[in-house]
Amino acid sequence: MQAGAVLQPPAYALEVDHLTIRFGTTEIFRDLSFKVPLGSSLVVIGPNGGGKTVLFRALIGSLPYEGSIRWAPGTRLGYVPQKLDIERSLPVTGNDLLRAKAAITKTPGKMLLTALDRVGLDMGALNTPIGALSGGQFQEVLLAFALIGDPNVLLLDEPTAGVDAPGRESFYRLIQKLQQETGLTAIVISHDLSVVARSATNVLCLSRSDSCFGPPKTILDPELLGRMYGMPLGFHFHDIH
């Protein structure tokens, strides 16, 4: 580096270039490129089987891929996975899970309490086996888990699947509040187009045949969505605003 050069902070939390993923001979998607500005929200939508979760698993390094995935230097990921199938009688409580993450990331007890406070988790839920929690409570535990270790990027894979409408609303309000308070970047898979319209900076739509990327106003176009989903969708962006 030259003397006197000024270090520019990175503008993007994530840069994906010409990403292609194959399972054997089946191509899940090809040549996918997009950028996620720091502190923004990217919502990934698309029909089932379009490769949304596959994209996430590649982003966290769990799947091989072609092309490039570049996270900004110093990225700390927090990941909330799709609904997990946990046995009801598994003797692991929310407390066990959160303390395990705190120990792994060497997070002090005070920071653990901050994560719990941010999510507003009910203390009674913490001492219940995770398999016996309601869908909404378990997602809150997983969100608190993701927040331990002070992440600057949150990856949320259909975090409100199986959660009722008020639960969904409060979950996304919480994410927005966290973004305002901490400036974190959120990348979310969601089927709820109204949530997309309200909270997304950009939208990535993935389907088996095609992909598109842009601001919600451009992507949430009934004609474009109809083409991506292979059937007409009765969603209108103006219904929300």
Partner 1 sequence: MTFTELGAQFGSVALSASMAVAAGLVGCFAVMRRMTLAADAMSHVALPGIGVALLLHISPLIGALVMLFLGTLLIWALEIKTRISTETVVGVVFTLALAVGSFLASGEELIDALFGAPGKLTGLEIGFGLIGAAIVIVLILWLKNALIVSLVSPDIASTSGINVIALDLTYLLAFALTIALGIRFLGVLLMGSLIIIPAVTARRLATDLTTMLSLSVAVAVISTMAGLYLGSLLQRETGPLIVSAAGAIFVLSLLKKQPA
Query: What residue ranges bind partner 1 (CB under 8 A)?
Result: 57, 60-62, 77-81, 84, 86, 88-93, 95-97, 99-101, 103-105, 127-130, 132, 142, 145-146, 149, 155
Helices 94-104 and 135-147 pack at an angle, to 10 degrees, of 10
Smaller CB distance to partner 1: residue 63 or 224? 63
Rounded CA gap, 124 and 121, in Å? 9
Smaller CB distance to partner 1: residue 188 or 228? 188
**Min. distance of Cβ 4 from partner 1 in angstroms?**
36
Smaller CB distance to partner 1: residue 106 or 238? 106
**Min. distance of Cβ 39 from partner 1 in angstroms?**
20
**Min. distance of Cβ 224 from partner 1 in angstroms?**
31
**Min. distance of Cβ 217 from partner 1 in angstroms?**
32
**Min. distance of Cβ 214 from partner 1 in angstroms?**
27
**Min. distance of Cβ 154 from partner 1 in angstroms?**
10
Smaller CB distance to partner 1: residue 9 or 24? 24
* Residue 192 near residue 45, CB atoms below 8 Å: no
Smaller CB distance to partner 1: residue 132 or 174? 132
Smaller CB distance to partner 1: residue 121 or 197? 121
Handedness of CA 72, 14, 68, 188 (dihedral sign): positive
* Residue 156 near residue 191, CB atoms below 8 Å: no
Rounded CA gap, 166 and 169, in Å? 5
